[in-house]
């Protein structure tokens, strides 16, 4: 792992979804993911009203703070600032990293989607990103239109010396190859959420164990 924002740790990156984590299940679902070892959480809601998103993000931030895990907000620095979240995740078509940094300050975690492209990753690093996200690596119901990425991009991106996130169709059955290729964080939506809280906790625990088994940070203790 490269130069780390002090709050980022290798592991499971849990990303919420309107369909899989609806409002009445959101807190219980994320709590289960945290119990299973998630090291980073992203609140992603493209459909809710401003009031709903503020309420949910506020509740999630309180939960994540209690667990000692950073909460990031998808594509909304202003909401992140209002609820006191740790930072944001930005896509290529969202606001600029510089704009997000002006809103949130130097200590915020800001991650950038880089798809399958190292040039986007280099640009993100130059702009001050805290982590780089690549994918999709497998078929994804959440991002079906995203261009496919090869696992080699994770290995090549190690040279940029920033934490690397893999996303896109990841399950407990296919995550190992991505960790071994160089991913520090395994970002999961459909492969984590859905079902009972116990189902979610079990999947999260499995992802956590996979990272602990294969990530070089833990290799000396295995």
Q: Do the annotations mark residue 165 as ligand-binding?
A: no
Quick one: 173 exposed, middle or buried, by C-beta within 10 A (0-12, 13-18, 19+)? exposed
Cα separation, 1 vs 10, whole angstroms: 8
222 is in an annotated binding site: no
Tell whether residue 113 is among the known ligand binding residues: yes
Distance of alpha carbon 40 from alpha carbon 29, whole angstroms: 14
Cis peptide before 136 (omega within 30 of 0): yes
Residue 94 in marked binding region: yes
Sign of torsion, CA 28 18 168 166? negative
Please give the Cα distance from 86 to 136 (Å, whole number): 25
SS3 content of the chain, % helix, strand, coil (to 5): 40, 15, 45
143 marked as part of a ligand binding site: yes
220 is in an annotated binding site: no
User: Which residues, at least 6 apart from 112, have a Cβ–Cβ distance to it below 8 Å?
Assistant: 89, 90, 91, 92, 97, 120, 121, 124, 127, 129, 131, 132, 133
128 assigned binding-site residue: no
Spatial CA neighbour of 163 closest among 92, 208, 217: 217
Quickly count helices (H) and strands (E) in the chain.
9, 8
Tell me if 43 is assigned to a ligand binding site: yes
Residue 74 labeled ligand binder: yes
* Residue 84 labeled ligand binder: no
| Residue 11 annotated in ligand binding | no
- Does 140 count as an annotated binding residue? yes
Q: Which residues sit in the known binding site for Mg(2+)?
A: 75, 94
Q: Which residues sit in the known binding site?
A: 42-46, 74-75, 94, 113, 140-143, 169
């Amino acid at each position: 792992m490269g130069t780390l924002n002090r709050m980022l740790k290798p592991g499971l990156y849990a990303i919420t979804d309107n369909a899989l984590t609806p409002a009445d299940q959101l807190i219980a679902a994320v709590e289960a993911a945290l119990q299973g070892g998630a090291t980073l959480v992203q609140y992603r809601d493209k459909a809710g009203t401003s009031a709903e998103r503020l309420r949910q993000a506020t509740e999630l931030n309180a939960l994540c703070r209690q667990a000692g895990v950073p909460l990031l907000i998808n594509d909304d620095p202003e909401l992140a600032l209002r609820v006191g979240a740790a930072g944001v995740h930005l896509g290529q078509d969202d606001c600029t990293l510089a704009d997000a940094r002006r809103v949130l300050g130097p200590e915020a975690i800001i991650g950038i989607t880089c798809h399958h492209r190292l040039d986007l990753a280099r640009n993100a690093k130059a702009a001050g990103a805290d982590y780089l996200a690549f994918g999709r690596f497998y078929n994804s119901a959440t991002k079906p239109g995203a261009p496919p990425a090869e696992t080699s991009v994770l290995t090549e991106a190690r040279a940029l010396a920033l934490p690397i996130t893999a996303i896109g169709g990841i399950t407990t059955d296919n995550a190992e190859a991505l960790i071994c290729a160089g991913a520090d964080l395994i970002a999961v939506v459909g492969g984590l959420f859905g079902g009972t809280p116990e189902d979610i906790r079990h999947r999260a625990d499995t992802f956590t164990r996979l990272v602990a088994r294969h990530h070089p940070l833990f290799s000396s203790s295995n």
